[in-house]
Amino acid sequence: MSVRFPLRAHGRYPYSAIVDRPAVSWPGGRRLAIYVALNLEHYAFGEGLVEALVPGIPDPDVLNFSWRDYGNRVGAWRLREALRAAGMPVTLLVNSALYAHCPELVAAFRRDGAEVAAHGRTNSEAQAGLDEDDERVLIREATDTIARHEPRPPAGWLGPWIAETERTPDLLHEAGYAYLLDWCADDQPVWLATRGGRLLAVPYPQELNDSSAIIGRRVGAAEFADMIVDQFEEMLAQSAGQALVMGVALHPYIVGQPFRLRHLRRALDHIAAPRTEVWATTAGAIAAHWAAAAG
């Protein structure tokens, strides 16, 4: 495959060195904003895309389907308890199919005051490869379903599998979204250019993510908890010079397993301990403050 010169570019944002940017701070002069993104996902049985604990099993893949279903039946409820105990706000990334499958789960987090952001219709599909009309329908159906059940339409979007077409930010901006979590190129929010205006990219973690770390790289439960603590301590030190964002991405069928949850509780207690420099919040609050303060 040949490469064109000059290199093909996305055109969504220009290069910017983090050490050369104007100073911005979070509410109250705090320096490090931290949020937990809890992915609530629903999968089809025996078809479509999958997250697999044991790969290569032919459909109907009862083993991996049951493992994923454990997340909504058990893991998410245990994680809810752990997050509440730590006093940690939650950004809930919701497949809209959950409102038909287990609406009581989303309702429980709603009662806790969680922010509900959109995560497509289901993780059995991805946006990549869709034509514009089909992608617009996917976004509209997911958005409308959430809006019917929640007090307000979702402000944020994370695409299933973080898979986009070349038009995804354009369509999300046109659908009224304020921020997008797919672009993970920075430790501060970044404005994306779209054909109709700007859309804010809030940092979402690919490394500090139980799916990529534990399932992808086979990181152990204790090591994943240590990663959260180490990321927090290093970013807290770095944030002395400028405001930063730290996200933690969790999936109930992974870190909601009891032996992993035991270690996660330790990490949550560490990062949620009261500190004058830290703002424990949601992705939506981060986006809203950044747009007002640095827009």
Tokens of 113: 């005051």
The pLDDT score that the predictor gives to residue 194 is 98
Q: Which domains does the chain have, with CATH numbers?
A: 24-294 (3.20.20.370)
Contact by Cβ (8 Å): 45, 292:
no
Distances (CA, A) of 279 to 21, 57, 118, 214, 295: 21, 44, 23, 27, 20
Cis upstream peptide for 27 (omega within 30°):
no
The pLDDT score that the predictor gives to residue 176 is 98
Rounded to whole angstroms, the Cα distance separating 226 from 220 reads 10
β-strands 197-201, 179-180 pairing: parallel
Residue 241: exposure state from Cβ atoms within 10 A (0-12, 13-18, ≥19): exposed
Q: Which of 282, 125, 263 is nearest to 202 (CA)?
A: 282
The pLDDT score that the predictor gives to residue 12 is 98
If one counts every other C-beta atom within 10 angstroms of the C-beta of residue 79, the result is: 25
The pLDDT score that the predictor gives to residue 294 is 81
Angle, CA 209 vertex, CA 47 and CA 44 arms, to 5°: 15
Rounded to whole angstroms, the Cα distance separating 133 from 116 reads 25
Print pLDDT tens along the chain (295 aa): 688 899 999 999 999 999 999 999 999 999 999 999 999 999 999 999 999 999 999 999 999 999 999 999 999 999 999 999 999 999 999 999 999 999 999 999 999 999 999 999 999 999 999 999 999 999 999 999 999 999 999 999 999 999 999 999 999 999 999 999 999 999 999 999 999 999 999 999 999 999 999 999 999 999 999 999 999 999 999 999 899 999 999 999 999 999 999 999 999 999 999 999 999 999 999 999 999 998 7
Q: Which of 201, 249, 255, 257 is nearest to 90 (CA)?
A: 249
Contact by Cβ (8 Å): 160, 120:
yes
Q: Output the pTM of the full model.
A: 0.97
The pLDDT score that the predictor gives to residue 2 is 83
